[in-house]
Structure 1
Amino acid sequence: MMLPEVIRDLQDRIDAVSADIERNREIQRNLEHIKAALHREINALRDPVARLPFELSSDIFIRCLPSSPTARPQEAPMLLLNICSAWKHIALDTPALWTCILIDHICTKEYVEGWATRAQGHPLSVVIRGTLDEGLVSVVQQYTEELRSLELQICGDEYASPAFITSLGPLPSLEALTICNRDGRYLIVGHSYVLAALRLAPNLTACTFLDLETHLDTDTPVDTLVLRRLRSLEFNDECQALRILEHLSLPALEALSLPMLVKVSPDSHLMSFLHRSSPPLQKLNIGYDEESDYTAMEDLLRLLPGLTQLELNWSYNDYLPSLFTTLTKSRSTFLPLLQHLKITNYTLSTAAGEVIHRALSARRTQLKSFELITTQAF
């Protein structure tokens, strides 16, 4: 036999063996799949969760959800789809597992639609992180009736104008709105942006603005926006946020957080807001600027007889003894329902300590907690 013929013969035999190997590999892969399926079946039979009533299994799965929405495959709810067929069926038939949606730039329209469909019309909580294309915005627009909570996590200057949030359209069912900056830096936005967000959601009950430095811009409306159901409003930016209150009336407000340093005076925006809204405020967190008028501050607190929780970030020491003196002498007329008092950033002197002690003694049957965070003790 000639050498070329021998080589061809050997190559043919190699090809035949290779084909046999590939067939055997395919058989092995099929057997592995069958084995895995059998394992899943036996696991499902042994699995105590699968033997529980469906309501209990669903409740257990719901308790596995992380504190914030996630789409990571190693966390619930996605993780629950990959354990066994029984767990997958339970997860897919539990709408409450799919009511919190994280949407970022890597999400596809089909992915978000599929997630929202699994919620089966239950109220949705949506976290939007990063810039969304028109396709994803259109998906969110499809579920505005189900949308109960919305958090916009700003990156850089992506939402520096109200264009993005207004593109979502009216949000008649929205009850909770949070706008925050993910970068850890303060982001400057116009008041028109904040007010545009609020106008979209007339039924808000809670609103939070974090790490946003607002400023008055030319598009700021001059009319007053009335939100009759808003019970909680929180800022943590600079005092320009008070200019937003100039355009708001919140007759149901129960909790207000303004931890920045606020200049209080008889004609301040905060005072005007309280007179205009007459809210049943129960919780107030406020920073007190040294340029404030203490008499006005006391007048402000007298407007809030229902206050049960007060937190003051105090930058000017001379006024605090006056506050505690009033707490001592006017127990029935000045903050009569106060139960929790916290004061931070205060330099404690011996004289002030004595005044504080007298006030606490006078209010001992009423106050449930008192916290004083000092910068220096004498």
Structure 2
Amino acid sequence: MVQTIADLRRQICRLELEIERQEAALATNRSLLRELQTNLDLQNPTFSILTLPPEITSEVFAHCVLEEVALANFNEAPFVLLRVCKMWNQIAMSTPALWTNIRLPSVQPERTLECMASRSRELSLNLLMAELPAIDGFWDAFCACAHRVRTLDINVSLGWTEALTAYAPAFSSLEQLRIVNDSWEGPVLDAFREAPSLRSVKLIAINLSRVLLPLESITNLVAELYYMEEIMDVLVHLPNLVVFHYTQYASEDDIFRQRTPVIHSRLREVRLIEPYEQPSIIRFLTLPNIETLVVNDSDDEIEAELLDFFKRSKPSLRTLGLHPAATRRTLNLASLDFLQTPRIAHLELTYLGDMAIGVFCQAFTMPSFLRGIREVVLRCRKGPASESNRFAVGRRRGREVELHTFVGFVLDAAEKRMVGTPSQPAEAASPLKLRIFTEDTDTLFLSTAQATQCRELKSRGVDVWIGPERRNLVV
């Protein structure tokens, strides 16, 4: 049937009217959308992130990822970002920094490695492998990205040595290496000997003679559960070591054995965890350039050992921390002669016993004591436990002090040092941070006199904190 001109005009008119109607509806919907978005912005402040440029959102995402390498949790970043909306999925997938931390699962590790390595593009990788992958295809994927591995954490075994020897991956970017195993006695592992960028090594209970490393390049060493003799032999061969963390393995022979002293001129930071009633390694070290020394599990002879150490080393020590053994309730110090090192700026003492806190507070009243101090951190806890407590050992030279009494001793000493007395005002002193960190707050309160002392100290440039690390009771 042939349409007439009138029919065509009627159809055109109907279409034009329909278009106008749909355009009006579209305009109404767009207006409603803008109104809803405005209301959502007012009620949900985080919604505004959708208005950020993608490159800014990408940077925000990168800060959501934990630094630790952990198993994939699809309810946490970065994986959860993929499920929020299409735009976030696209941004997350195009942000390589989100995919650089890889902990390989025991199931299909090669797929995880290939996927994460692809998403991270050419960025450096942080890789943790708790188990030796038994899949042949894994090692091809591993070798393909080995040149990008910056941090490698492995539980070494005989299979590891054989695989690394057979495939010979090139660790050209490896900076940090962690190896753990307390029973491995396999062939020598030399896969890391030629790693040109390796600077930081953490070794846990592994036979030091079975791992070949570029010793002259290493600047940071964490060694856990080693006899003192083993670790002193290693120190001799690490001429550029700057940071040294050492956990000593207890041995009855160590108490009586004599050792050749070691002089190390590059070490700047030493942190020690040593068994109670064992000689400290500092007895045999001379470290003229040490700046930070922290000793955990300090025994009753630590004062004499420190005094001799400082006399030998004559260091420019800036930070000193002393903490008691885990089996003892208090840190017992009968003398503070070792604290005459003039440049100490940061001092941390944990759980001082009644004798030790008395000795410290008496010395602290004198401006000549710790003349260069900038921060004092004292840690304390609720107070005496029952005598039947397993911590009763170690009460020979000092008992615990009640929190309120402890705080009072310290405030009195600080006031005399920084404020003085009406007849003998204190001289102007450098600003000081005074931290009294407590484990308990239910039984701790500041009396009116102590609150007044705190205000007076603050007026003299003392930044006072009393309470747990997240709650300051000083107003």
TM range (shorter): 0.5 to 0.7
Q: Percent identity?
A: 13
2:220 aligns with one of 176, 192, 196:
176
SS of 1:99's equivalent?
Answer: strand
**How many residues are aligned here?**
299
Q: TM-score normalized by structure 1?
A: 0.64
Question: Kindly tell me: are residues 94 and 170 of structure 1, through their superposed partners in 2, closer, same or farther at Cα, counting changes over 3 Å?
Answer: closer
Unaligned ranges ≥5, structure 2: 1-85, 127-148, 382-399, 420-430, 445-475
Gaps of 5+ in 1: 1-42, 182-188
Match of 1:250 among 284, 287, 299: 287
Aligned equivalents of 2:378, 2:261: Cα separation in 1: 32
Change beyond 3 A, Cα 1:352–1:75? farther
Matches within 5 A, 1:165-314: 165=209, 168=212, 171-181=215-225, 190-210=227-247, 212-214=249-251, 216-217=253-254, 222-239=259-276, 242-264=279-301, 268-287=304-323, 294=334, 297-314=335-352
Distance 2:368 2:441 in 1: 31
TM-score by length of 2: 0.52
- How far the C-alpha of 1:327 sits from its partner, in A, is 1.4
Deviations 1:15-37 (A, max 9, x none): xxxxxxxxxxxxxxxxxxxxxxx
C-alpha separation in 1, matches of 2:350 and 2:203: 29
2:402 to 314, 337, 348: 348
Instruction: Deviation per CA, 1:58-85: give whole Å up to 9, x if none.
Output: 43333xx26xxx4436899973523xxx
Q: Distance in 2 between matches of 1:202 and 1:131?
A: 29
Q: CA, structure 1 residues 94+150, in 2 after alignment: closer, same or farther (shift >3 Å)?
A: same
Partner SS, residue 367 of structure 1? strand
Query: Going by fraction, where is strand more abundant, 1 or 2?
Result: 1
Which secondary structure state, in structure 1, belongs to the residue aligned with residue 199 of structure 2? strand
Aligned-pair Cα RMSD in Å: 4.1
User: Per-residue deviation at 1:300?
Assistant: 0.9
Superposed CA deviations along residues 38-71 of structure 1, whole A, max 9, x for unmatched, are xxxxx9xx95466x5xxxx443333xx26xxx44
Is the CA contact 1:153–1:179 (under 8 Å) kept in the aligned structure 2?
A: yes
Higher relative contact order (CA 8 A, sep 6+): 1
> Are residues 99 and 129 of structure 1, via their aligned partners in 2, closer, same or farther at CA, if it must alter by over 3 Å?
farther
Q: For 1:126 and 1:112, how far apart are their aligned partners in 2?
A: 18
Computing the radius of gyration from Cα coordinates, the structure with the larger value is: 2
Instruction: Supply the AA of the counterpart residue of 2:293.
Output: L
User: How much has 1:371 moved relative to structure 2?
Assistant: 1.9
| Correspondence 1:358 to 2:412 | yes
User: Could you say if the C-alpha distance between residues 47 and 350 of structure 1 is closer, same or farther in structure 2, counting changes exceeding 3 Å?
Assistant: closer
Which of 318, 322, 329 is matched with 2:359 structurally? 322
C-alpha deviation, 1:273, in angstroms:
1.0
Task: Give SS of 1:233's match.
Answer: strand
| Mapped partners of 1:234, 1:75: distance in 2 | 39
* 1:80-137 per-position Cα deviation (integer Å, ceiling 9, x unaligned): 523xxxx6445463344412222322535435886952x4344242323344465561
Helix, strand or coil at the partner of 1:140: coil
Q: Partners of 2:380 and 2:165 in 1: how far apart?
A: 44
Residue 149 in 1 paired to residue 200 in 2? yes
Cα distance change, pair 166–113 in 1 and its aligned pair in 2 (3 A): closer
Given the superposition, is the C-alpha separation of residues 352 and 313 from structure 1 closer, same or farther in structure 2, using an over 3 Å criterion?
A: closer
